[in-house]
Structure 1
């Protein structure tokens, strides 16, 4: 079951990346929408990782 979920997530990620490339080349409107959603989701993941890293770093510093 976990393998199916991971395969589905992988398919969504690959599809999103394809849409980003296609949108750069002037694809249809729905492709541009999917590309925007993909890029926004990526940015949110990057921000959450950065915040988590900073909070872990500040927690480690305060423990000295």
Structure 2
């Protein structure tokens, strides 16, 4: 079951990347919408990772 979930997430990620490339080349409106969602999700993940690293660094430095 876990493998199926991971395969589904992988398929969504690959599909999102394909839509980003297609949208850059002037794809249809739905491709541009999927591309926007994919890029926004990437920004959210990137921001959460930076926040998590800052919290870990603060706790390792003794909270300073």
Q: TM-score, normalised by structure 2?
A: 0.96
Query: How far off is 1:25 after superposition?
Result: 0.2
What is the CA deviation profile of residues 7-49 of structure 1, one whole-angstrom value per residue up to 9, with x for unaligned ones?
0000000000000000000000000000000000000000000
CA RMSD in angstroms comes to: 1.3
1:19-38 equivalent positions in 2, closer than 5 A:
19-38=19-38
Alpha-carbon distance in 2 for matches of 1:53, 1:27: 37
Structure 1 outlier segments of 4+, above 3 Å: none
What's 2:18 paired with?
Answer: 18
Alignment size in residue pairs: 64
Runs of 5+ unmatched residues, structure 2:
none
